[in-house]
Amino acid sequence: MRRTFSAVVLFFLVFCGALAQQKTFFIAGKAQGTTYHLQYLAEHEVVNKSSIDSVMQVIDQSMSLYQPHSLISMFNRPYHHELAIDTHMANVVHAALQVHEQSNRLFDITVKPLVDLWGFGMESVDSFPQKALIDSVLFFVGMEKIWLEGETLHKRDPRTAIDLNGIAQGYTVDVLAQLLDNRSIASYLVEVGGEIRTKGLKTDRKSYEIAIERPEGAQSSSFVLQLTDLAVTTSGNYRKVAYHEGKKVHHHIDPKSGFPLQNNVVSATIIAPTAMEADAYDNVFMALSPPEGIALANRLSGIEVYIIYEEHGVFHEAFSNGFLAFVKP
């Protein structure tokens, strides 16, 4: 499962110390079109790379658009009106429906046909679509076109197709975190493609530290976040751009107009209780103006946001009420 963002890269700072008889174990690998890293504290190894890879493969077979026989690929075929899906996909679709409502319909997993039209899907395009074609595709785009009954996913129009890349990678992080929870691990950091979730303290009794790379020209130095029992993700657009009618276009598509979003937000970093929530909302905050984004974050329980935006070639910053409390002094 490949995630098409990288505007702001999150990376973690590893510190090791001595605490009782616990040691820090590290696991790293490649999966879902990206890399992953885990570290956890334990007296002996309780989770290995094989078990991590196994979890990743199961999720790929559920929600990877790059797997032709995955559940999502089968659902997206035009002859399916409904499909029995697994618990993983049902969890993610259910969460997507909730975020859709809370974001005033900005978060929409049915935008896949539009993403493909603009060449931001699995295949590039030689030219951008005309408005007439976009309007014709909008007839089968919209979250009202799908519904979930238990673990059966339905769609009203067989042409409707979904893309879970804006939320599923965060979900993968949460599933790996749950695997560590199930093994009674009290301290860990899980990272998949820049999506991060933490639990507990490091061996030096300090919070896990995550640095936020900021675009060149942003004011002041990079932030280092100190997180315990929280997740953080970042979405952005200043590295992956194209041009349409003399304007920059980005891979974030407006599900209402069918066109790439046009605003001055460069990146959004979200702190949330789970990586799935953070992953979903980083797309939402990219779609809003900075004042709208800050207002939404301040209304949402447990969500904090840091927004970088550009005006007249100069980068500026905006913060939700509680974000700065997580910045290392």
Contacts of 325 (CB under 8 A, 6+ apart): none
Structure-block tokens of residue 239:
């590295």
CB neighbours (10 Å) of residue 190? 28
| CATH code at position 78 | 3.10.520.10
CA distances from 131 to 118, 128, 286, 308 (A): 12, 10, 23, 30
CB neighbours (10 Å) of residue 310? 16
The residue range of the domain holding 242 is: 10-326
Nearest to 4 by CA among 194, 190, 274: 194
Residue 9 has a pLDDT of 42
What distance in Å separates the CA atoms of residue 89 and residue 164, rounded to the nearest whole number?
Answer: 9
What distance in Å separates the CA atoms of residue 106 and residue 70, rounded to the nearest whole number?
Answer: 26
First to last CA, the chain: 36
Q: Evaluate whether 186 touches 168 at the Cβ level (below 8 Å).
A: no
Residue 291 has a pLDDT of 96
Which tens digit of pLDDT belongs to each residue from 42-81?
999 999 999 999 999 999 999 999 999 999 999 999 988 9
Angle between helices 87-102 and 49-63 (to 10 degrees): 60
Residue 223 has a pLDDT of 83
In DSSP notation, 42-60 reads: ESS----HHHHHHHHHHHH
Residue 222 has a pLDDT of 73
Instruction: Classify residue 2: in a domain, yes or no.
Output: no
Q: Give φ, ψ of 274 to 5 degrees.
A: -125, 155
> Which helix (DSSP H) or strand (DSSP E) does residue 153 occupy?
strand 152-155
Which of the 8 DSSP states describes residue 8? S
Structure-block tokens of residue 286:
């990219």
Instruction: Classify residue 211: in a domain, yes or no.
Output: yes
What distance in Å separates the CA atoms of residue 86 and residue 74, rounded to the nearest whole number?
Answer: 13
Angle between helices 87-102 and 168-182 (to 10 degrees): 120
Which tens digit of pLDDT belongs to each residue from 139-182?
999 999 999 999 999 999 999 999 999 999 999 999 999 999 99
What distance in Å separates the CA atoms of residue 100 and residue 90, rounded to the nearest whole number?
Answer: 15
- Give pTM, 2 decimals: 0.89
Using CB atoms within 10 Å of the CB of residue 196, give its burial: 0 to 12 exposed, 13 to 18 middle, 19+ buried. buried
Which tens digit of pLDDT belongs to each residue from 285-297?
998 999 999 999 9
Instruction: Classify residue 276: in a domain, yes or no.
Output: yes
What distance in Å separates the CA atoms of residue 49 and residue 274, rounded to the nearest whole number?
Answer: 22
Residue 149 has a pLDDT of 95
Mean pLDDT by 10 residues, the chain (329 residues): 41 44 92 94 95 96 96 93 96 97 94 91 82 96 96 96 96 98 97 97 93 68 89 78 55 87 89 98 93 97 95 91 95
Specify the number of domains making up the chain.
Answer: 1
One-letter amino acid at 289 equals: S
Helix ranges (DSSP H) in 196-302:
275-287, 290-299
Residue 171 has a pLDDT of 98
Instruction: Classify residue 1: in a domain, yes or no.
Output: no
Q: Evaluate whether 277 touches 17 at the Cβ level (below 8 Å).
A: no
